[in-house]
Amino acid sequence: MIAGDQSIAYISLNETPTYEFQFVKDLKETNEEDILLSLKESAQITYVTYAVTLNNETEAYVKTVEEAEEIVNSIKEEYNQDLELDLGILPVYTEGSDSIESVETEIAQTKLDSEVKAKIEEQEKIKAATVNGIYLAVKPISGTITSRFSEISSIRSGAHTGLDIAAPKGTAIKVVQDGTVTFAGSYGAYGYCVKVSHGNGVETWYAHCSKIYVSKGEDVTAGDTIAAVGSTGNSTGNHLHLEVRIDGSPVNPQRYLYR
């Protein structure tokens, strides 16, 4: 690295320079900048900047590795908790006039801090919506909750085993996560019902549908439309009856969705 310019990693000569001995006055001074200018035409300059990365994505570039380390250590100290955040430092080399513009440490620190906070919020959201290791990533529908888990009603023989969300007839019902359809058809008081297994003993049920768009054994992806809202079976109006089951036992869907 040339003193006075921390962005230069190294200089390579495309041609071997020729030398000529000359007598010069004792008072004449030379410096590295003059030498660099004299070699510029036959030299290839390689610049280096340091990328600060978060989960393998570049968030900012700074001039020195010391600045990058300062930023990373500060973030780790501030967010000293068990997070799935991969902070790293990566040297980036460019040639000629293609050098990457770096930013001041404070600017890089602020940007990274903002990104880390967003990642933490995302992780907390995922954690809150995860049951038995399965992330319930998609709300099946948007609507008004009309009956909650374990409620007692005269129209039921026991406590409510799911969550009722009212919505217009025909509203698309989306599957909460990847899985395999284990049942699709008429299911007694549930009316038209779709059951999807997501693995780890986690299953979701979608009941009182007006239409079903999937078949038993079909693989589905989170967000796929599997049915439409209706009022079939033991129902008093158009709504989705959503159940989340672990090893066959219903749990409160609002622990994970519609919080």
CATH at residue 241: 2.70.70.10
Query: Is a pLDDT exceeding 90 seen at residue 46?
Result: no
250 and 144 in a single domain? The answer is yes
In-domain check, residue 141: yes
Round to whole Å and give the CA distance between 95 and 7: 11
* Joined tokens for residue 17: 């320079």
pLDDT confidence of residue 44: 75
Lowest mean pLDDT among 51-55, 81-85, 145-149, 202-206: 81-85
Round to whole Å and give the CA distance between 55 and 239: 41
**Of the candidates 93, 110, 128, which is a domain's last residue?**
128
Query: Is a pLDDT exceeding 60 seen at residue 6?
Result: no
243 and 174 in a single domain? The answer is yes
241 and 148 in a single domain? The answer is yes
Instruction: Please compute the mean of the pLDDT values over residues 119-140 and round it to a whole number.
Output: 93
228 and 195 in a single domain? The answer is yes
Q: Which residues pair with 130 in a beta bridge?
A: 135
In-domain check, residue 1: no
Q: What are the respective helix, strand and coil percentages of the chain, to the nearest 5?
A: 20, 35, 40
pLDDT confidence of residue 5: 46
Query: Is a pLDDT exceeding 70 seen at residue 67?
Result: yes
pLDDT confidence of residue 31: 60
113 and 141 in a single domain? The answer is no
Round to whole Å and give the CA distance between 93 and 10: 10
Q: Which domain holds residue 152?
A: 134-255
**Of the candidates 100, 128, 156, which is a domain's last residue?**
128
Residue with the bigger pLDDT between 155 and 76: it is 76
In-domain check, residue 79: yes
**Of the candidates 108, 128, 148, which is a domain's last residue?**
128
User: What pTM, to 2 d.p., does this model score?
Assistant: 0.69
- Which of 239, 247, 179, 169 has the alpha carbon at shortest distance from 206? 239
Number of folded domains that form the chain: 2
113 and 173 in a single domain? The answer is no
* Joined tokens for residue 12: 């390579």
In-domain check, residue 3: no
183 and 70 in a single domain? The answer is no
Q: What digits encode the pLDDT tens for the residues 93-118?
A: 887 656 677 788 888 889 888 988 88
In-domain check, residue 237: yes
* Joined tokens for residue 104: 């001041």
In-domain check, residue 2: no
